[in-house]
C-alpha cells in the first residue's frame, strides 16, 4: 500500500522533454526507503489522463497515440510499484496513490510554468511566446486581426493559436500550456478566471432563394418547423442556441450537424436548410449574396464572449500584454 511521495529535488526542462525527478517512496511492505527517479514525461502523460478522465482525450492533448498513453501509464505504475488507476470498476477512477500523485503533478507543472513566466518576464517582451486557444467563431473571425496587431507591437513574441470547440478548448487550457482561452459557450468553474470580453450577436440565415426571404412578418415559432443546420454538440454557438430555445419553450427541427462554421454556411447556401450563426461569421457571404439574414422581429440573441485563464496559473508577461490590448480595443 502506498503511503507518501516526497520530492527531495526537482529537475525539469522548460519545453516538456522527458526529465527526471529523484523522489523517495515508502511502502508498507518495505522498511527501508526506496529511492527512484520519476520520469517527467510519464508524469505529464498521467496528469493529462487524470485531468481528462480519458486515455483518448489525453492522447489528443499530448499529440501522441492512445497506445502510447496506455504504455506510459503502465510504465509509470511499474516504476512506482502501484496501480494509479482503479481498473476494477467501469468508470474512470484514480486509486489513492493516483489521486496523491495527480496533486503533486499539478504542482510540479504549475512550478514549471511559473519558471517559464519568470524567465520570460526577465527578458521583457523582446522574446517569448504566447499560446492562445479559441472556439471556432472567435479563433477564425475575431482573434486573427488582434493577433496581427499584437505581433506588430511585439514582433519578437512567437504566437500560436489552437481552434477547437468550447469544451475542447477548456480541456486544452486545463491540460496544456495555453496562456489564454477565448470561448463563446457558457463556462463555470471555481478554478477558472472568466473575464467578459465583448458581445456577439446571433442571426438566422437562409439561402438567398428561400421563400422565407420574401416573407415580411416571420416569427421564430414559424421557423421551428424548418430544417436547421447546426454545429456539433460541445460547440458554444450550439449551447447558446439550445439554452435560448429552452427558455422560450421551443424545439428546433435539427436536420444536420456539422463540425465547423464554414460547413454550416456552405450547407445553408446549398439550400439544405437554415441556421443560427454569429453575425461576425457571415460578413463575406452576405456581401457575396450566398446567404441572407432573415428578419425575425421576435428573435434577438446576444451572447458575451469570454477570456478564460487558470486562476492559480500566473499570466505570462506576454499574456498580460495581450489581455491589456484586448481590453483597450473593447473599450
pLDDT in tens, 110-160: 888 878 777 766 666 777 889 999 998 899 999 999 999 999 998 989 999
> Is residue 35 domain-resident?
yes
For residue 41, give the CATH number of its domain. Answer: 1.10.10.10
What DSSP character marks residue 90? S
Q: Report the C-alpha gap between 159 and 173 in whole angstroms.
A: 16
Provide long-range contacts, Cβ within 8 A and 24+ apart, for 102-108: 102/46, 102/47, 102/50, 104/5, 104/7, 105/43, 105/44, 105/46, 105/47, 105/50, 106/47, 108/7, 108/10, 108/12, 108/21, 108/40, 108/43
Judged against a pLDDT cut of 60, whether residue 29 lies above it is answered with no
182: pLDDT strictly greater than 80: yes
User: What's the pLDDT score for residue 35?
Assistant: 47
CB atoms near residue 307 (< 10 Å): 22
Residues 6+ apart with CB under 8 A from 205: 265, 268, 274, 275, 276, 277, 282, 285, 291, 292, 293, 294
Over residues 197-226, mean pLDDT: 93
Whether residues 16 and 108 share a domain: the answer is: yes
pTM of the model: 0.64
Task: Say if residue 108 is in the same domain as residue 212.
Answer: no
Backbone Cα Rg of the chain: 24
Do 208 and 106 share a domain, yes or no? Answer: no
pLDDT tier, 216 (very low <50, low <70, confident <90, very high otherwise): confident
Does a structural domain hold residue 248?
A: yes
CA 309 from chain centre, in angstroms, equals 10
Do 208 and 114 share a domain, yes or no? no
Domain count of the chain? Answer: 2
CATH number, position 258: 3.40.190.290
**All cell numbers assigned to 214:** 420574401
Quick check: helix, strand or coil at residue 9?
A: coil
Q: CA torsion angle for 28, 33, 34, 36 (degrees, to 10)? A: 120
> Does any domain span residue 310?
no
Q: Is residue 192 part of a domain?
A: no
DSSP-derived secondary structure for 270-294? TTS-BEEEEGGGGHHHHHHTSSEE-
pLDDT at 20 (0 to 100): 45
Which of 61, 85, 119 terminates a domain? The answer is: 119
Whether 139 is in a domain gets the answer no
Domain carrying residue 245: 199-304
Q: Which of 34-38, 105-109, 319-323 has the highest mean pLDDT?
A: 319-323
For 37, the 3-state DSSP assignment is: strand
Domain closes at, from 86, 119, 152:
119
- Domain final residue pick, 119, 135, 168: 119
How far is the CA of 294 from the CAs of 70, 258, 282, in angstroms?
50, 21, 13
Please report whether residue 256 resides in a domain: yes
CA distance 137 to 165: 9
Q: Is residue 126 part of a domain?
A: no
CA 65 to chain centre: 20
> From the centroid of its chain, how far is CA 182?
8
257-300 residue pLDDT tens: 998 999 999 999 999 999 999 999 999 999 999 999 999 999 99
- Same domain, residue pair 6 and 106: yes
- In this structure, of 21-35, 126-140, 248-262, the range with the lowest mean pLDDT score is 21-35
Q: Are 203 and 115 in a shared domain?
A: no
**Residue at 40 is within a domain:** yes
Strand partners, 257: 230
Are residues 114 and 204 located together in one domain of the fold?
Answer: no
Amino acid at each position: 500500500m502506498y503511503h507518501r511521495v516526497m520530492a527531495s529535488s526537482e529537475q525539469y526542462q522548460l519545453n516538456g522533454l522527458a526529465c527526471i525527478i529523484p523522489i523517495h517512496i515508502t511502502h508498507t511492505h518495505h522498511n527501508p526507503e526506496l529511492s527512484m527517479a520519476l520520469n517527467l514525461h510519464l508524469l505529464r502523460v498521467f496528469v493529462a489522463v487524470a485531468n481528462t478522465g480519458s486515455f483518448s482525450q489525453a492522447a489528443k492533448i499530448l499529440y501522441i497515440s492512445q497506445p502510447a498513453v496506455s504504455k506510459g501509464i503502465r510504465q509509470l505504475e511499474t516504476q512506482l510499484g502501484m496501480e494509479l488507476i482503479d481498473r476494477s470498476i467501469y468508470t474512470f477512477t484514480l486509486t489513492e496513490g493516483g489521486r496523491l500523485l495527480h496533486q503533486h503533478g499539478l504542482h510540479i507543472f504549475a512550478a514549471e510554468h511559473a519558471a517559464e513566466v519568470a524567465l520570460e518576464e526577465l527578458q521583457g517582451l523582446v522574446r517569448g511566446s504566447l499560446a492562445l486557444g479559441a472556439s471556432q467563431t472567435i479563433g477564425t473571425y475575431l482573434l486573427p486581426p488582434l493577433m496581427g496587431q499584437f505581433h506588430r507591437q511585439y514582433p519578437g513574441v512567437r504566437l500560436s493559436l489552437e481552434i477547437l470547440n468550447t469544451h475542447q478548448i477548456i480541456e486544452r487550457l486545463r491540460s496544456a500550456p495555453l496562456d489564454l482561452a477565448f470561448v463563446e459557450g457558457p463556462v463555470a468553474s471555481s478554478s477558472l478566471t472568466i473575464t467578459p470580453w465583448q458581445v456577439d450577436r446571433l442571426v438566422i440565415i437562409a439561402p438567398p432563394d428561400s421563400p422565407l426571404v420574401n416573407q415580411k412578418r416571420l416569427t421564430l415559432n414559424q421557423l421551428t418547423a424548418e430544417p436547421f443546420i447546426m454545429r456539433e454538440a460541445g460547440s458554444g454557438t450550439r449551447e447558446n442556441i439550445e439554452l435560448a430555445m429552452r427558455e422560450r419553450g421551443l424545439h428546433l427541427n435539427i436536420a444536420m450537424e456539422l463540425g465547423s462554421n464554414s460547413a454550416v454556411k456552405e450547407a445553408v447556401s446549398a439550400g439544405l436548410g437554415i441556421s443560427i450563426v454569429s453575425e461576425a461569421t457571415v460578413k463575406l457571404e452576405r456581401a457575396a449574396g450566398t446567404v441572407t439574414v432573415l428578419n425575425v422581429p421576435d428573435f434577438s440573441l446576444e451572447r458575451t464572449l469570454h477570456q478564460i485563464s487558470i486562476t492559480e496559473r500566473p499570466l505570462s508577461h506576454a499574456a498580460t500584454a495581450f489581455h491589456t490590448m484586448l481590453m483597450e480595443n473593447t473599450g
